[in-house]
Amino acid sequence: MKSWIAFKSILMKDMRNYYLKPPNISWGIIFPFAWTLMFFLRSQTTVDIRSILPGVMAMSILFGTTSMLAVTITFERRSRSFERLLLAPIDLNLLMLAKTTGAILFGIINAFVPVVFASFIVDLTGINWFVVLTSVFFIAVTSTFLGLLIAVSVSEVFEAQTFSNFFRFPMIFLCGLFIPVQKLPMILQPLSYLIPLTYGVDILKTAINGDGHLLLGLSFFMLVMFSLVFFMISTKNIKEKWIY
């Protein structure tokens, strides 16, 4: 019981200090809206909102979660406040779950900002909302743990942001957002299936438009596996590099 009280306290502290700040709230709304607007401005023809919705949702989650983890973890490590948490009588795995839950919630909220905008423009009937909600959750978890892995591998916020872009931008172009994976050059297709976002985007495409090309069970399984691997490597790095 005491461990879960500590979990709640850490989560509430992060929500107050980071996620519920007005700049972050506004950024969480503006960023997905900006992505959607970009597609409108770049397209020379009428934009199919439903066709771009899975990509905008996935990008909103990816950038929102990884950016927030880069700030919370690296900033607290630099200010040495994270070291005080490591001394607390709480299991390391539960501690890191507490530190990442806020980013997961932030990513989930980010994902549905474009959905709200789209609902005023197009008819969203026929969407499998249960699959959408489940996939958004798993994409947020996987992206958050990727952000955690990046954050624990550097010591400065600017390093974390730079390192994040090293992963994020290739993922955007290889995961099927702009070009379907099947239409990528053969040499790049194997790389696409090594990217967690590929499976998340495919689930959203299946749930929203019915045009995914992978089995839902396989995609969910891969997201869970990526999440576990990222989390395990992150906690291993913390034990080896941060706990003396």
pLDDT digits (tens, 9 = 90+) for 102-156: 889 988 988 888 888 888 888 888 899 999 999 999 999 999 999 888 888 777 7
Query: CA 54, CA 40: separation in Å to the nearest integer?
Result: 15
Q: Which pLDDT band, with edges at 50, 70 and 90, does 74 fall under?
A: confident
Query: CA 141, CA 137: separation in Å to the nearest integer?
Result: 6
Q: What is the mean pLDDT of residues 20-39?
A: 66
35 vs 162 pLDDT, higher one: 162
State pTM to two decimals: 0.88
**Average per-residue pLDDT in the chain?**
81
Per-residue pLDDT reduced to its tens digit, 78-88: 767 776 776 76
Q: How many CB atoms lie within 10 A of CB 190?
A: 9
99: alpha, beta or left, given left = phi > 0 and alpha = psi -120 to 50?
alpha
Query: CA 88, CA 83: separation in Å to the nearest integer?
Result: 9
* pLDDT of res. 129: 94
Q: Which pLDDT band, with edges at 50, 70 and 90, does 174 fall under?
A: confident
Q: Which pLDDT band, with edges at 50, 70 and 90, does 173 fall under?
A: confident
Q: Which pLDDT band, with edges at 50, 70 and 90, does 12 fall under?
A: confident
